[in-house]
Amino acid sequence: MVDKIGLSERRACRLVGLSLDRYRHPPADDEMTAQLKARIVETAHQRRRFGYRRVHDLLRPEFPGVNHKRVYRLYTEAGLTVRKRRKAKRPIGERQPLRIAQTLNEVWSMDFVADSLANARRLKCLTVADDFSRDCIDIAVDFGIGGEYVTCVLNQAAIFRGYPRAVGTDNGPEFTSRAGAMRTTSNTS
């Protein structure tokens, strides 16, 4: 605007919203900022899984007057970001078509339900239902339900109702356990 239109510096800066001092003296990195930037890049390349907060913690003894916001600004200006890890893909088991129950005890379904008490302690409920009669076979309520607990609940329910032909679950990760396979060990002493 100063060169093309011929406005004065003061008027052009006022129209743009820039201070006259900032226009006359553009910001330049001082020596300490250049050193800090170099150390941030060096530390980030040595420790690739460290974000700007941990880099700041490592550089705090060297640069005691530097706060985390300045480290963050220089960290992002250098294009340093920690890549987020991808979620581990679980192997997909053999999927079988959904079996529609025709008789009693043919297919049981089970799932976990969660709730919390007034003191914010979490409760877990294991619900087991017969798909044909829609009867609730068993509900186990506890603060934590592991694989051994689930097998005990199913064995206890099978004592009274008989074993089903199939047990259906959702595709969630909560039913992945080796607890059922451990029951086959024998004692030979």
Domains and CATH numbers, the chain: 9-77 (no CATH), 107-180 (3.30.420.10)
Q: Which residues neighbour 43 within 8 Å (Cβ) at sequence distance 6 or greater?
A: 50, 55, 58, 59
**H/E element, 168:** strand 166-168
**Interval 140-170: pLDDT, tens:** 999 988 888 998 999 999 998 899 988 888 8
Does residue 83 or residue 114 have the better pLDDT? 114
Q: Quick one: pLDDT at residue 186?
A: 38
Give the mean pLDDT of 111-140.
91
Which pLDDT value is given to residue 187?
41
Handedness of CA 150, 151, 156, 159 (dihedral sign): positive
Cα 38 to Cα 40: distance, rounded to the nearest angstrom: 5
Res 73: pLDDT: 92
Cα separations in angstroms, 90 against 12, 93, 95, 112, 175 = 61, 9, 14, 20, 13
8 A C-beta contact, residue 100 and residue 63: no
d(CA 168, CA 129): 10
DSSP tag of 174:
G
Question: How many residues are given for the chain?
Answer: 189
Residue 73 CA to residue 71 CA, distance in Å, equals: 5
How would residue 189 be classed by pLDDT, with cut points 50, 70 and 90? very low
Which backbone phi and psi does 125 adopt, to 5 degrees?
-125, 130
Which amino acid, 148? Answer: E
**Whole-angstrom Cα distance, residue 116 to residue 122?**
4
| pTM exceeding 0.75 | no
